[in-house]
């Protein structure tokens, strides 16, 4: 029996996509959306860093725009989340941050801010929850007698290397625990910040304990700037792939999401550039529009690509059985129908041609060892 259609799968009207108060307002530089959209449960500090873009005010004639970001520190009770989706290849995940300053307009994790009584729109990219005790909680989880090593991903929902990580170092502290315990992990990022932690990652990679994926959604800096406004520039991400590969870290590329008529024409070129930089594997996921992401993305389309917005959504619905989104396991990542099959075929052919279809060796779970109690750390020197 087919499951009932969740309300986030319906087709929304133009009036819902373009609230009258926002329809005439231009996009805000450095933000994916300026829309503080109400979430579905509602009753009614960044710093300078060269990520390949230069400064936001470098373009001649443009006014400096410095949208404020608020970092909310939180002490969490647990940091490991279980995965029950057969679409994903890991059992557990760690997300050091909730919300993401990268501002990717398409981010499937935006609706998670609803659980915090915040907007999946502007709040998601300006009010970032930092789990400051993530490493401590991870250590506690590993210490448990019941814990056994399993596949684990860092940053499955929001980027573990978003701008605030340079200051707080939560992700690095998490990786330090993983390194200490020889616990394997995978990580997906669109930030060059991962290079900072190569001193930890490279030795683990040499022991078969790490796999990194870098997300490259477009090679066009103009498109990337409006699609993912605070993520690393495309050329900078390719340099990150190169740096990881040179350090001996198995690195793949994620061409996700694949958006018809927006970045979809670039699929083959992205894979070629990634392979040339040293990537050895690749994957791609079609655009997902769950819950509030749907109107946010459609408004973005109307603002930036009014000439093709209707065509884009027509193809999206063709891959989703006539709906804007289909959340069913097995189809939510790939879609269905002729267009979805064409994308899958193009991806597979390009991967085969470029040598990106090689199966990566499974990460070694046998090396895991539980952390030493804090009281015993360093005591060995007393008896040396």
Residue-wise pLDDT for 278-292, tens only, equals: 999 999 999 999 999
Please give the Cα distance from 38 to 57 (Å, whole number): 31
Residue-wise pLDDT for 69-122, tens only, equals: 999 999 999 999 988 777 777 899 999 999 999 999 999 999 999 888 998 989
Mean pLDDT, all residues of the chain: 85
User: Residue 230 corresponds to which tokens in the numbers above?
Assistant: 């605070």
- Note whether 35 and 122 are within 8 A (CB): yes
pLDDT at 381 over 70: no
CA 336 to chain centre: 23
Integer CA distances (angstroms), 172 to 45, 195, 277, 339, 382, in order: 19, 11, 25, 40, 29
Which carries the bigger pLDDT value, residue 54 or residue 260?
260
User: Residue 340 corresponds to which tokens in the numbers above?
Assistant: 């979805």
Least confident of 117-121, 136-140, 277-281, 338-342: 117-121
Residue-wise pLDDT for 54-71, tens only, equals: 544 444 334 434 458 999
Nearest partner of 37 among 24, 21, 51, 52, judged by Cα: 21
Please give the Cα distance from 349 to 341 (Å, whole number): 12
Helices (H) and strands (E) in the chain, counts: 13, 10
pLDDT more than 70, % of the chain: 79
Integer CA distances (angstroms), 356 to 268, 329, 376, in order: 12, 25, 45
Q: Exposed/middle/buried for 334, CB within 10 Å: 0-12, 13-18, 19+?
A: middle
Which carries the bigger pLDDT value, residue 86 or residue 263?
263
Query: Domain 68-369, CATH 3.80.30.30 — does that match?
Result: yes
């Amino acid at each position: 029996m087919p499951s009932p259609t969740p309300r986030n799968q319906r087709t929304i009207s133009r009036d819902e996509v373009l609230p009258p108060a926002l329809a005439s307002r231009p996009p805000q530089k450095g933000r994916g959306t300026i829309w503080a959209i109400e979430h579905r449960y509602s009753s009614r500090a960044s710093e300078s860093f060269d990520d390949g873009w230069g400064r936001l005010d470098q373009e001649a004639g443009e006014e400096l725009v410095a949208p404020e970001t608020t970092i909310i520190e939180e002490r969490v009770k647990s940091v490991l989340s279980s995965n029950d989706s057969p679409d994903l290849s890991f059992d557990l995940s760690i997300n050091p941050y909730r919300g993401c300053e990268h501002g990717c307009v398409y981010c499937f994790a935006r609706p998670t801010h609803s659980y915090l009584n915040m907007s999946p729109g502007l709040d998601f990219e300006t009010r970032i929850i930092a789990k400051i005790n993530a490493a401590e909680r991870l250590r506690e989880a590993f210490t448990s007698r019941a814990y056994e090593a399993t596949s684990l991903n860092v940053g499955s929902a929001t980027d573990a290397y978003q701008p605030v990580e340079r200051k707080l170092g939560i992700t690095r502290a998490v990786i330090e625990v993983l390194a200490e315990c020889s616990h394997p992990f995978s990580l997906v990022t669109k930030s060059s910040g991962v290079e900072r932690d190569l001193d930890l990652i490279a030795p683990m990679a040499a022991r078969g304990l790490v796999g990194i994926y870098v997300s490259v959604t477009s090679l066009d800096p103009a498109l990337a700037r409006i699609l993912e406004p605070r993520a690393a520039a495309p050329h900078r991400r390719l340099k990150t792939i190169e740096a990881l590969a040179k350090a001996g870290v198995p690195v793949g590329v994620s061409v996700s999401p694949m958006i018809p008529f927006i970045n979809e024409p670039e699929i083959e070129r992205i894979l070629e550039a990634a392979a040339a930089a040293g990537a050895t594997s690749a994957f791609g996921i079609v655009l997902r529009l769950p819950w509030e992401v749907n109107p946010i993305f459609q408004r973005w389309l109307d603002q930036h690509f009014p000439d093709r917005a209707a065509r884009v959504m027509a193809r999206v619905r063709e891959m989703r059985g006539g709906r804007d989104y289909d959340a069913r396991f097995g189809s939510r990542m790939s879609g269905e129908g002729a267009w979805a099959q064409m994308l899958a075929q193009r991806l597979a052919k390009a991967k085969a041609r470029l040598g990106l279809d090689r199966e990566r060796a499974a990460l070694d779970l046998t090396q895991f060892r539980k952390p030493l109690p804090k009281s015993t750390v360093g005591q060995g020197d007393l008896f040396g």
